[in-house]
Amino acid sequence: MSAPATIVDVRGVDVELGGRRILTDVNFSVRSGDFTGLIGSNGAGKTTLLRLMLGLVQPTQGEVVWPSHAREQRRVGYVPQKVALDVDVPLRVRDFVALGDDGHRYGLRRRTPDTWRRVHDVLDAVEASDLAERRIGALSGGELQRVLMAHALVSAPELLLLDEPLANLDPGATEDIVSLLARVREREHVAILLSAHDINSLLGVMDRVVYIANAHVASGPTDEVVRPDVLSKLYGHHVDVVRVHGRFLVVTGTTSQEPVAEHPDLVVE
């Protein structure tokens, strides 16, 4: 059996935003069919890394390579953590999902029955068929998340990127989404990379981990990365990894803090 093809290769990437170093010398790759967890605390640079892979952030050094395609043809779906939706926008769920297929194309090509079949197919894959006729602005947070997944899947991507899909979920819901993603991976033959700040809920399904701390990244199979020596090097000081009842507990000694949101124009004295 030949080795799975590489979908995307992140090579020696540095990212600076507003003069601040966000990521340093990041190297990892995603192969077809992989389920990768991008793990790090809040503000560690996970979203920046995802946006880098999407081409929305430019690296100051290094490159992101999609070996099998030109950048314009890369097939990647993206599920953001939050999306600002206008509650009054006149769109049904199925209209919105269909826009994932043709919304970026100018002109009025007619949607064929095949398009609609595909729309209902992906809604079925994320177990949201009953939402098809609802107004997009009237969905709950959890419903919207599934619809965003369907929206990302409708163009048959090779890789699905999800930004913190497990944030703000109770343990039961977390379990549901993780197992749903595992089923989606099988059914749609799509590699999955998702960011999360807790590693444990992903242990059952995750093949590889990209661990991010202090603007640096360590990647590889879970057991090779989540170890005291690797993580201590990453954090720059001693870190303990404790395994309790099959769960990881990473003890870093310092508390991480989310940067306070600042107004772009004004520093309050």
Write out the residues near another protein by the rule CB under 8 A: 19, 54, 56, 72, 76, 78, 80, 83-92, 95-96, 99-100, 102-108, 134-138, 148, 151, 155, 261-269
For 59, the token pair is 């690296």
Q: How far is the CB of 242 from another protein (least distance, A)?
A: 33
Residue located via tokens 């619809």 = 147
Nearer to another protein, 82 or 183 (CB): 82
CB 11 within 8 A of CB 65: yes
Q: How far is the CB of 126 from another protein (least distance, A)?
A: 16
Nearer to another protein, 65 or 242 (CB): 65
Q: How far apart are the first and last CA of the chain?
A: 63
Residue among 144, 198, 192, 149 nearest 170 (CA) = 198
Nearer to another protein, 106 or 113 (CB): 106
Crossing angle of helices 113-125 and 171-188, in 10° steps, is 140
**Rg for the chain, CA atoms, rounded:** 19
Nearer to another protein, 83 or 251 (CB): 83
For residue 235, give the 3-state DSSP assignment: helix
Q: How far is the CB of 107 from another protein (least distance, A)?
A: 6
Q: How far is the CB of 8 from another protein (least distance, A)?
A: 14
